[in-house]
Chain A
Amino acid sequence: MSVHTMLEAVNLSKRYEDGALAVDDVSFSVRPGEIFAMLGGNGAGKTTTINIFLNFLEPTAGEARINGIAAHRAPLEAKRHVAFVSENVMLYPTFTAVQNLDYFARLGGKTQYTADDYRRVLLRVGLQEEAHHKKLKGFSKGMRQKCGIAIAILKDAPAILLDEPTSGLDPKSGFEFMQLLGSLRDEGKAVLMSTHDIFRAKETADTIGIMRQGRLVMQRSRAGLAGEDLERLYMEHMAGVHE
């Protein structure tokens, strides 16, 4: 284990009960201060991979490690080091944004936050101030995503997992979101994100992986992509040209 590795998949495989091989011998690592973007078509195995990191699923083979801890061996310990933003953030509809933040911050072991902290983080993720004390049931999907990322920021974990976090965000919010992610990276977070947004991935990510039918068929650093047309590469991989 290298101290420079925060998130690590080691020969990770997952076969569902029905026999479908969703993740097939995948290995990669994400260091602190690095954004790893996972691209891939529908059903490529991105969500499954993230679920193994969160111990929502047990790997069939291999390990998903967070800060060197195998998620399925010591899940509680591993989850202390990771924050998670899902594709469709769902919070308690009868609570206000701030109440939701407060609850999940406490679950994450952070009890020291003040009202001002909540206000600041919500402003940082771009949620307009008049919504801070409104109940979640009236929130649009984008507003919920913003609360989700605020919760992840509040957890202040060294690793962040995001599953298609920008789906449903308007273009401006999407852009701001990626900037935010960039600033989190600059703070030293290790970020693993699945996305369908090739353009934004190329803009922000330090490393890009492409998954196809459970396998990580391409993995390149930003430097390694210089001069390459990522969109064309992606299409070729999807078509299986490089196999």
Chain B
Amino acid sequence: MLVHIIEKELRDIVGSAKFAVNFSIGTALILLSFYTGAQNHRIAQEQHEAALAANVRQYEGVTDWMRVQSFRIFLPPQPVAALVNGVSNDIGRTVEVRGRGELRSQDSRYGDDPIFAMFRFLDLDFIVTVILTLFAVLFGYDAVNGEKERGTLRLTFANAVPRTVFITGKCAGTFLGLAVPLIIPFLLGALLLPVFGVPMSGPDWTALALVTGAGLLTMGAYLLLSVWVSARTERSSTSFLVLLSVWIMTVIVLPRLSAAGADLFVSVPSMDEVNSQKSRFMSQLWNEDRTKMNGFTPANKGDVQEVMKEFNRYMQTLADDREKRFNEFAGRLNEERANRQMEHRRLTQYLSCLSPAALFTLAASELAGTSLRLEEEYLAQAREYQKEYARFMKEKTGTNTGGFAMVFRMVTDDNAEKPKPINIAEVPAFRFVPPAAEAGLPPFTIFSGTIALYALLSFAGAYRAFRTYDVR
């Protein structure tokens, strides 16, 4: 009997005009999101290569490694990130690496082209959180009370149909009726990726499949919620209004409010605040060092070259000492801010967990490697690279340039042979290793598990409500 009800539900949905319209729109949007994802990936890849080339060109004709003050590294675009943008467009892709000092990322996609930030991109996150959840509401809002209004519920229950079987069949049938057809555009879109030249690796495919699964699960959660509400209300117009409000709250309002809500409990000092504190401390250090510099007395006053060398050494110790003190201070500030930020993020996530749609956003970005961890990961790898770069530069120049050191050199020998240009390709290359999908798997599982929990609760609610539903 359950099979008959599921089958009927499937046929009822697929045969309806509502389905034809929604399915066409859904298919078009899903394919479009894959297409724009692929396009964006291609553009990002081109920009990335151009930036790498420009970076090298910048040092053309440079003959002295001393003149290489800094070296730029870039965050390469990742295929899945093009489909689940997360924060990938918001964080800086470029880091200017010096031999020492703090690293900061700059030049984000949205920073470069703010118009995109205004309306964001059409990615899978948008498809799921906005389009699929809306479909779920549109197809679920009258699941039970609509049958009553249409008068078919009476005839159904004139038969020996257990209510539990009916409500289970209703839920399963509606879900399958929506999910199975939607798999087609998802598969088509996925097939388009290699065609459009997006290099998908094995783990990329796995991540995409899991994200799609979580998307359908999210749709299922909204669908079951809709069935529940429709079994709690007499009229479908009422359930539609209720569900529309829930949808607006959980899809649009809550995710936006959660960060602001968390602000009420945890305040994170702004970056400006931290930076100004840092620069105040830095100028204080400089003032101290300037007095020290005035007290520099060379041991060997005769030889200019010797004096120069001695001065450079002296400056180097000052710089080292200054850097050490500054780093301690900045480290403390950074850590304090990072801790606050961590707390703030956690609270924001807890608050947004009230919304299945927000949970999907969190889950998907974890697997796509575009969660909040992306920037941390990038900077962490950049800091590792900085050490390597510093070692290299020390080898080339005998001193650690960059940071805040000042280097004085005198060129006295005019007859020396013409200096040869440096080969910038010798600088060690930065290779970003995307955080393994495995790292995203535990949070992904927790977030999608919570979505599943919502789905289960809604089903239990629908089940309970329908036990005493007036089928007349």
Contact = CB atoms under 8 A, between A and B. Distances in A.
Contacts of B12: 92, 94-95
Given A103-B8, A104-B155, A107-B1, A94 B15 contact: yes
A221 to B, nearest CB: 28
B2 to A, nearest CB: 11
Given A103-B8, A106-B4, A107-B1, A86 B154 contact: yes
A223 B249 CA distance: 69
Interface string B433-472: 0000000000000000000000000000000000000111
A54 B472 CA distance: 10
B257 to A, nearest CB: 40
B420 interface: no
A171 interface: no
Contacts of B154: 56, 84, 86, 90
Given A90-B151, A107-B156, A95 B472 contact: no
Contacts of B472: 51, 56-57
A160 to B, nearest CB: 11
Interface in B358-407: none
A137 to B, nearest CB: 10
Contact of A86 (B8, B11, B155): B155
B158 A82 contact: yes
Interface string A88-120: 111111110001000110111100000000000
A107 B161 CA distance: 7
Interface in B15-69: 15-16
Contact of B160 (A51, A80, A90): A80
A143 interface: no
A99 B156 contact: no
B150 interface: yes
A185 to B, nearest CB: 20
Contact of A84 (B11, B150, B155, B470): B155
A166 B5 CA distance: 29
B196 interface: no
A57 B157 CA distance: 12
Interface of B: 1, 4-5, 8, 11-12, 15-16, 150-152, 154-162, 470-472
Given A86-B154, A107-B159, 11 more contacts: A51-B472, A56-B472, A76-B160, A84-B158, A90-B150, A90-B151, A91-B155, A107-B1, A107-B4, A108-B160, A151-B155
